[in-house]
């Protein structure tokens, strides 16, 4: 394999094989990942990162396929990262999102990469953010991230993407589901896919009613139209109100509206300065994750396996409580660090 | 640090619509701890190689029951070489007459797995070929 710096240069010049190899490097998460990201980071920050999430079978892959086709007509280069779950038992994975994206074959303005979640909860793989950076540096204008089929709480995508699309399918529960905390809260755009199915109109209405609970609205009460107060006007002019859109991804119906709405959200983020706010949120989360990972790696390096195992056994046998165990490990780490300090 | 995951593309080139074998293989390689990219039915060699390139796979598995293996398999191998992926091992499964097996191996196929091949043999063969490549 060529040296990393050669790969990086080739990838930035549009070599797809090099780009692909770099994603493998960052996915491995070892030292070379750090080298790759350090080199590429100054070239990133230009792509519009769009997350697509929703329950398994709601139509995420099919919708990604249709959105990507339309973005290509707008002359955007589109990177796609499709995440599917890893087996908790074997660690293997079946990555099948490409099956729905076969229309995108043969277009050099499209790059599709499947990723296994590799034990990460939250709907993404640990290296998804790094893979996005590689594509961003590689000159892709829009990067679509399809999450693992998500239920209620897989909300990591909101911290990774600028724009989050939540896809719902008809017949997934009553209106109380729509006001529960979690996945619907992160939506910038809500799409009811399979809108040709029975019950789609009920799902749309339930979602719209949920959104109105948080925003000023007009409603009919005993035959008269009343204004329901929401947040003050100057704030609501700046705040984004998610729309509920309908689509049938298998025919492409309604997808033009989804693409328009993605564009509208991009303009909103740029004009209000929210773009940089989202970048800051993302950077903060990224730094915290890296810190945690480094910290754990340091723990593993400084305290031998048998000592860590002994602590685990003590906690399991109720000889020690978990808080005391952590304090003990921290103390050991600090004294080990102290002994390792260079003398002189 | 994570162990290196083996990424395998399983594809059905050509026009036969029988994908049960491919799905059984995909599932069993998943259970063997590999990351399997399954691309579905009726793939052209160009589609298979493009997917292999984007996914940076460690191995490619082709399932063919149509009898078109002598045309499809060498084309996949040629395209892999043209895309700087000539070192990626290619495996073939399905209904392949034994005289054709020899020709396919000569053309660059690492192994041909006929009906009745044990799953653990397939997984072990792929692991070995991938390890030798690295």
Q: What is the pLDDT along chain A (344 residues), one digit of tens a residue?
A: 568 889 888 988 889 999 999 999 999 877 888 889 999 999 999 999 999 998 888 899 999 999 999 999 999 999 999 999 888 888 899 998 898 888 888 888 999 999 999 888 888 888 999 999 999 999 999 999 999 887 766 778 888 899 999 998 887 666 666 666 677 888 999 999 999 998 888 888 888 888 877 665 666 677 777 766 655 554 555 688 899 999 999 999 999 999 999 999 999 999 999 999 999 988 998 899 889 888 888 888 888 889 999 999 999 999 999 999 999 998 988 887 767 666 54
Tell me, yes or no, whether B38 lies in a domain.
yes
- Which band of pLDDT confidence, cut at 50, 70 and 90, is reported for residue B44? very high
How many domains, in total, are found in chain B?
Answer: 1
For chain A, the structural domain boundaries read 1-43, 46-216+230-274, 303-340
Q: How many CB pairs below 8 Å do chains A and B form together? A: 82
Is B119 a domain residue?
Answer: yes
Rounded to whole angstroms, the Cα distance separating A255 from A247 reads 6
Give the model's pLDDT for residue B2.
46
* pLDDT computed for residue B1 by the predictor: 38
Q: How far is the CA of A271 from the CAs of A50, A73, A85, A158, in angstroms?
A: 18, 24, 36, 20
Q: What is the mean pLDDT of chain B?
A: 92
Token representation of residue A39: 């080199």
* In a domain? residue B112: yes
Mapping DSSP to helix (H, G, I), strand (E, B) and coil, where does residue A320 land?
coil
Looking at the complex, report in whole angstroms how far the Cα of residue A294 sits from the nearest Cα belonging to chain B: 11
- Chain B residue set in contact with A, beta carbons under 8 Å: 1-2, 4-5, 26-27, 29-40, 43, 46-47, 50-51, 53-56, 83-85
**The residue to which tokens 């029951």 are assigned:** B65
Q: How far is CA B74 from CA A14, A106, A331, in A?
A: 28, 20, 62
Q: Is A252 on the interface with B (CB under 8 A)?
A: no
Tell me yes or no: is domain A46-216+230-274 CATH 3.40.50.300: yes
Over residues B46-74, mean pLDDT = 94
Beta strand ranges found along A73-199 (DSSP E): 78-84, 93-95, 110-116, 142-146, 163-168, 189-192
d(CA A133, CA A45) in angstroms, rounded, equals: 8
pLDDT of res. A279: 92
Question: pLDDT tens, B107-120?
Answer: 999 999 999 999 99
Quote the pLDDT of residue B36: 96
- Note the pLDDT of residue A185: 81
Q: Which residue segment(s) compose the domain that B54 sits in?
A: 7-133
pTM over 0.90: no
Is position B1 within any domain? no
Q: CATH number for the domain including B121?
A: 3.40.50.280
ipTM at complex level: 0.91
A191 burial class (0-12, 13-18, 19+ CB within 10 angstroms)?
A: buried
Residues of B in contact with A20 (CB under 8 A): 53-56
Distances (CA, A) of B106 to A23, B74, B103: 32, 10, 5
Kindly state whether A116 is in contact with chain B, defined as any CB-CB distance less than 8 angstroms. Answer: yes
Using the beta-carbon criterion (under 8 Å), do B55 and A118 form an inter-chain contact? no
Question: Domain for residue B2, yes or no?
Answer: no
For residue range B7-37, list pLDDT tens digits in order.
999 999 988 888 898 999 999 999 999 999 9
């Amino acid at each position: 394999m060529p040296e990393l710096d050669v790969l990086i240069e080739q990838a930035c010049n549009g070599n797809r094989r090099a780009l692909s190899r770099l994603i493998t490097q960052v996915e491995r998460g070892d030292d070379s990942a750090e080298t790759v990201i350090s080199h590429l980071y100054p070239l990133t920050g230009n792509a519009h990162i769009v997350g697509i999430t929703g329950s398994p079978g709601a139509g995420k892959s099919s919708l990604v396929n249709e959105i990507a086709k339309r973005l290509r007509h707008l002359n955007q280069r589109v990177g796609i990262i499709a995440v599917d779950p890893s087996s908790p038992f074997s660690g293997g994975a079946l990555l099948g999102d490409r099956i729905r994206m076969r229309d995108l074959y043969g277009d050099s303005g499209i790059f599709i990469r499947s990723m296994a979640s590799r034990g990460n909860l939250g709907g993404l793989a640990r290296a998804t953010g790094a893979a996005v950076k590689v594509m961003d540096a590689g000159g892709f204008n829009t990067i679509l991230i399809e999450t693992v089929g998500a239920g209620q709480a897989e909300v990591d995508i909101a911290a990774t993407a600028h724009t989050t699309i939540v896809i719902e399918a008809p017949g997934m529960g009553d209106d109380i589901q729509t006001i529960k905390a979690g996945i619907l809260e992160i939506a910038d755009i809500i799409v009811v896919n399979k809108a040709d199915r029975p019950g789609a109109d009920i799902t749309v209405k339930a979602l719209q009613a949920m959104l109105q609970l948080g925003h000023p609205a007009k409603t009919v009460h005993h035959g008269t139209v009343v204004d329901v107060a929401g947040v003050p006007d100057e704030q609501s002019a700046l705040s984004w109100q998610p729309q509920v859109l309908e689509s049938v991804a298998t025919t492409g119906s309604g997808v033009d509206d989804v693409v328009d709405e993605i564009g509208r959200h991009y303009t909103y983020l740029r004009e209000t300065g929210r773009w940089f706010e989202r970048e800051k949120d993302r950077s903060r989360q990224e730094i915290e994750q890296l810190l945690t990972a480094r910290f754990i790696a340091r723990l593993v390096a400084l305290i031998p396996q048998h000592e860590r195992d002994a602590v685990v056994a003590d906690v399991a046998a109720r000889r020690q409580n978990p808080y005391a165990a952590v304090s003990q490990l921290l103390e050991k780490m600090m004294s080990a660090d102290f002994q390792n300090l260079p003398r002189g | 640090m994570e162990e290196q995951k083996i990424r395998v593309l399983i594809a059905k080139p050509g026009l036969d619509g029988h994908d049960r074998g491919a799905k059984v293989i995909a599932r069993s390689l998943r259970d063997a701890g590999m990351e399997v990219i399954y691309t579905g039915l009726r793939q052209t060699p160009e589609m298979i190689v493009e997917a292999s390139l984007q996914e940076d796979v460690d191995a490619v598995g082709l399932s063919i029951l149509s009898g078109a293996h002598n045309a499809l398999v060498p084309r996949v191998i040629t395209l892999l070489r043209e895309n700087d992926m000539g070192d990626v091992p290619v495996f073939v499964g399905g209904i392949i007459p034994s005289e054709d097996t020899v020709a396919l191996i000569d053309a660059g196929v690492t192994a041909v797995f006929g009906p009745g091949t044990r799953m653990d043999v397939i997984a072990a063969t792929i692991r070995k070929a991938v390890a030798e490549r690295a």
